[in-house]
Amino acid sequence: RGKHALTGVRPEDDGSVNHVKLQRVYMLLVFAVPGLPDEFYATLIERARVAGVPCLLDTSGRALIPGIAAAPLLAKPNQHEATAMLGGAFDPEDGAFVARALPSPGPVVLCLTLGSDGAVLHAPAGSWRARSPRLRVVDTVGAGDCFVAGLAAALVRAITVAPPIAGATSGAVWSGFDGTAGMRTVAASAYSRALAAISERATLEAMLRLATAVSAANTLTIGAGRCDPADIERLLPQVSMAPLPR
């Protein structure tokens, strides 16, 4: 119920285009929900794209692979989920391996959460490792959801100032992490602006930094998804960011 409240997606939702047009960024942060087909989130991702809404996916189990194949703008598996998705153990900092192993089509941005070891973000514009400062952790429940909320918040900020990607008025070019492209019928919209935004290294760094700070702030407060804005602001400059070789 908590995750449905965060995303606005309920089992009875049909993912209609009219529904997704109400969203600026569509976040699918749901684990296994009884009664939903494995392709439910993949269907929502495709409908979100048609509606011009960027989609961020954080799921697991049997819904993960079809969700990834539906090519969300961003996917955020943890290392265990990514190992299953990419076919075996790997170095999460190895962007070249991720680019080769990631299904195509697939997400434009892949963000791997590594628990206390921080997070890694891979995108066509670059790769980074983020680590939060050492904290006296109170409660980790909801930290992953807060991480995705931080990614989305930074992306929404970038979308508001990014111009639409060239050529998006009649058929946007979808670019996967490996650089492949396919035509998608997407109007000039938040989706095309999101593509333009994540082509900038500064946007990707801001997304990873804010996500790490929000997730860390969540661990300082009891209760899933609870964060003190003052903690987020205090932690932001303390997040350690390092670019990774490609």
Task: Catalogue the active-site residues.
Answer: 145
- Distance between CA atoms of residues 54 and 21, nearest Å: 10
- Distance between CA atoms of residues 81 and 110, nearest Å: 12
* Residues in the chain, overall count: 246
Per-position b or e across 81-97, b if 16+ CB within 10 A of its CB? bbeebbeeeeebbbbee
- Distance between CA atoms of residues 134 and 239, nearest Å: 10
Query: Which residues have C-beta within 8 Å of that of residue 76, sequence separation ≥ 6?
Result: 56, 57, 58, 110, 111, 112, 113, 144, 147, 148, 151
Measured between alpha carbons, how far is residue 26 from residues 84, 98, 168, 240 in Å? Answer: 25, 24, 19, 28
Query: Which residues have C-beta within 8 Å of that of residue 170, sequence separation ≥ 6?
Result: none
Contact by Cβ (8 Å): 222, 136: no
